[in-house]
């Protein structure tokens, strides 16, 4: 698995085994043909095999920037010799291998958005973020196409993807990257002016190809450069295919990242699959999903976002509704002064918080659910477990049949899990609470203090987890029917 080298513009096409310019074709020295990166075979007398690392000089032989390559057809990047166990890696150098040579490699389309497809199991890294560039300059690119495709298990690091010439209102679908199963797109820079508002699988910055698959995007830098431009989300959840999106870190910003725009697109609110955003910064004014909620369907999609505005706020959107921990609108919280509660965030100022839950689509098939877990470190013993919450006064008919909690712990003697529930099929009244909440109102929302509580029938084992899940099957007819749930639970 040796290193190989490409030196664009050199006079002779060497054997690829060294970074220097070869003195004859086939001599010791770098290849001079970028076509090898673009899918053509190395010249006779040299080879490219699974596991190889190929370094590409980012300036030509004269030291000038490499002239942009205008595509006239789709192109493949990488080699078919790569495998899942032995990928081939292509590195656009930053001047480390060739000191002083730090430039760009740009592929551009002026009409149809020709696709650059990274072959299966190839790794491409731009050592300087944004130096490997894919751009379409047309004001009317082809419909449903994209700039970059990542094959099975492909991994691309640091590309720049740009559609900034598309005018607002254009009917075509500007898409930036399509990922196949197992692909990873890391540290992309994305510039968006306008996208179609069509709800289809070609309407988002990153899309999947259909079918089932896991797709990972790490630290994307996405700028919406036009305030009035149409927008179709960062990722797409289809209502047929089972997409599994994982977006880690990164940010969405710009004059177009504002009210009326969403993070996840889905067709008419119907979707399946999952989208997890962890540490992804986006303006709080934006919605998690198109329309704010999923439409009632047979599917059960889940969208999870942590990091709005760079903070600790988290949001989960499920079929039944949504729950958020964002503290920017000053929700009520339970005073952390209680000896068995720790409702403050582990930040430098101990910010208090609670879960705010709205469940317009909750029913017995898809109940609203919030789960908390913590490690019990005390001595073995019988314990009283308590889950506190605030219930909206406008939501009538609440009782222990439609609001309940399950408590699961490890038995000290048997070492087996034990679960007890507060659900009562006779629909008895919820238990009143005197817990010291900071408030029982939130704007026009008025609430009452309630709790679910059990005494464990056996001793809880030391250094084992306790899992508490709050359920509600009563749907919320109005936007004021909001619950506030303490994120911690009592062990007493």
CB 273, CB 243: distance < 8 Å: yes
For residue 333 the two structure tokens come to 């919280």
For residue 221 the two structure tokens come to 């830098």
Tokens 């299966």, residue?
120
List all residues 6 or more positions away from 365 whose beta carbon is below 8 Å from its beta carbon. Answer: none
Q: What pLDDT is attached to residue 309?
A: 61
Give dist(CA 304, CA 253) in Å, integer.
19
For 129, other C-beta atoms within 10 Å of its C-beta total 17
Of 477, 476, 468, the residue nearest 389 (C-alpha): 468
Q: What pLDDT is attached to residue 51?
A: 95
Q: What pLDDT is attached to residue 142?
A: 61
Q: What pLDDT is attached to residue 165?
A: 79
Tell me the three-class secondary structure of the chain, residue by residue.
CCEEEECCCCCCCCCCCCCCECCCCCCCCEECCHHHCCCCCCCCCCCCCCCCEEEECCECCCCCECCCEECCCCEEECCCCCCCCCCEEEEECCCCCCCCCCCCEEEEECCCCCCEEECCCEEEEECCCCCEEEEECCCCCCCCCEEEEECCCCEEECEEEEECCCCCCCCCCCEEEEECCCCEEECCEEEECCCCCCCCCCCCCEECCCCEEEEEEECCEEEECCCCCCCCCCEECCCCCEEEEEEECCEEECCCCCCCCEEEECHHHCCCCEEEEECCECCCCCEEECCCCCCCCCCCCEEEEECHHHCCCEEEEECCEEEECCCCCCCCCECCCCCCCCCECCCCCCCECCEEEECCCCCCCCCEEEEEEEEECCCCECCEEEEEEEEECCCCCCCCCCEEEEEEEEECCCCCEEEEECCCCCCCCCEECCCCECCCEECCEEEEEEEEEEECCCCECCCEEEEEEEEECCCCCCCCCCEEECCCCEEC
Tokens 């199991």, residue?
121
Q: What pLDDT is attached to residue 49?
A: 93
Q: What pLDDT is attached to residue 244?
A: 86
pLDDT of the chain, 492 residues: tens digit per residue: 689 999 999 999 999 999 999 999 999 999 999 999 999 999 988 999 999 999 999 999 999 999 999 999 999 999 999 999 999 999 999 999 999 999 999 999 876 668 899 999 999 999 999 999 999 888 776 666 688 999 999 999 999 999 887 776 665 566 788 899 999 999 999 998 877 655 444 578 898 887 778 999 999 999 998 877 777 788 888 766 778 889 999 999 999 888 888 888 876 666 677 888 888 888 888 888 776 676 655 555 577 777 666 666 788 888 888 898 876 678 898 865 454 455 666 667 667 888 999 999 999 988 999 999 999 999 999 999 999 999 999 999 999 999 999 999 999 999 999 999 999 999 999 999 999 999 999 999 999 999 999 999 999 999 999 999 999 999 999 989 999 999 989 999
Q: What pLDDT is attached to residue 337?
A: 47
Burial grade of 309 (CB within 10 A; 0-12, 13-18, 19 or more): middle
Q: What pLDDT is attached to residue 201?
A: 46
CB contact burial 146-184 (16+ within 10 A = b; e otherwise): bbbbbbebbbbbbbbbbbbbbeeebebbbbbbbbbbbbb
Give dist(CA 179, CA 88) in Å, integer.
18
What are phi and psi for residue 455, nearest 5 degrees?
Answer: -110, 125
Q: What pLDDT is attached to residue 149?
A: 94
Task: Tell if the pTM clears 0.85, that is, is over it.
Answer: yes
Q: What pLDDT is attached to residue 110?
A: 79
């Amino acid at each position: 698995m040796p290193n190989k080298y490409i030196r664009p513009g050199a006079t002779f096409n060497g054997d690829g085994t060294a970074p220097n310019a070869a003195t004859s074709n086939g001599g010791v020295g770098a290849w001079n043909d970028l076509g090898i990166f673009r899918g053509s075979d190395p010249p006779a007398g040299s080879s490219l095999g699974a596991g190889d690392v190929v370094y590409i000089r980012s300036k030509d032989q004269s030291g000038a920037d490499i002239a942009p390559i205008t595509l006239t057809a789709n192109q493949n990047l990488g080699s078919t010799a790569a495998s899942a166990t032995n990928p081939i890696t292509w590195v656009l150098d930053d001047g480390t291998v060739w000191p002083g040579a730090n430039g760009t490699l740009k592929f551009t389309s002026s009409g149809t958005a020709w696709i650059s497809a990274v072959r299966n199991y190839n790794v491409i890294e731009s050592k300087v973020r944004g130096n490997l560039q894919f751009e379409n300059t047309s004001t009317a690119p082809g419909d449903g196409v994209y700039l970059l495709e990542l094959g099975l298990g492909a991994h691309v690091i640091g590309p720049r993807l740009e559609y900034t010439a598309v005018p607002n209102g254009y009917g075509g679908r500007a898409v930036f990257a399509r990922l196949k199963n197992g692909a990873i797109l890391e540290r992309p820079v994305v510039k968006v002016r306008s996208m179609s508002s069509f709800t289809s699988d070609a309407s988002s910055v990153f899309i999947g190809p259909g079918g089932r698959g896991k797709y990972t995007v790490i630290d994307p830098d996405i700028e919406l450069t036009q305030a009035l431009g149409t927008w179709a989300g960062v990722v797409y959840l289809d209502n047929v295919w089972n997409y599994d999106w994982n977006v880690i870190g990164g940010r969405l910003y710009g004059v177009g990242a504002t009210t009326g725009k969403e993070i996840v697109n889905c067709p008419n609110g119907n979707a399946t699959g999952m989208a997890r955003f962890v540490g992804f910064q986006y303006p709080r004014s934006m919605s998690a999903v198109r329309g704010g909620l999923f439409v009632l369907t047979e599917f059960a999609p889940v969208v999870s976002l942590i990091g709005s505005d760079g903070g600790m706020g988290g949001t989960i959107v499920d079929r039944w509704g949504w729950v958020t921990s964002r503290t920017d609108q000053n929700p009520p919280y339970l005073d952390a002064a209680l000896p068995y509660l720790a409702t403050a965030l582990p930040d430098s100022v101990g910010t208090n918080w609670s879960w705010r839950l709205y469940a317009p689509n909750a029913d017995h098939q898809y109940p609203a659910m919030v789960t908390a877990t913590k490690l019990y470190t005390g001595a073995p013993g019988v314990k009283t477990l308590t889950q506190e919450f605030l219930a909206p006064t406008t939501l009538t008919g609440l009782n222990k049949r439609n609001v309940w909690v399950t408590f699961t712990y490890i038995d000290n003697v048997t070492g087996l899990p034990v679960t007890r529930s507060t659900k009562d099929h006779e629909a008895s009244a919820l238990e009143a609470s005197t817990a010291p909440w900071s408030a029982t109102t939130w704007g026009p929302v008025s609430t009452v203090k309630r709790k679910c509580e059990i005494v464990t029938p056996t001793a809880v084992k030391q250094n084992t987890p306790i899992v508490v899940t709050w359920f509600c099957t009563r749907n919320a007819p109005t936007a004021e029917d909001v619950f506030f749930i303490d994120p911690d639970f009592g062990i007493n």
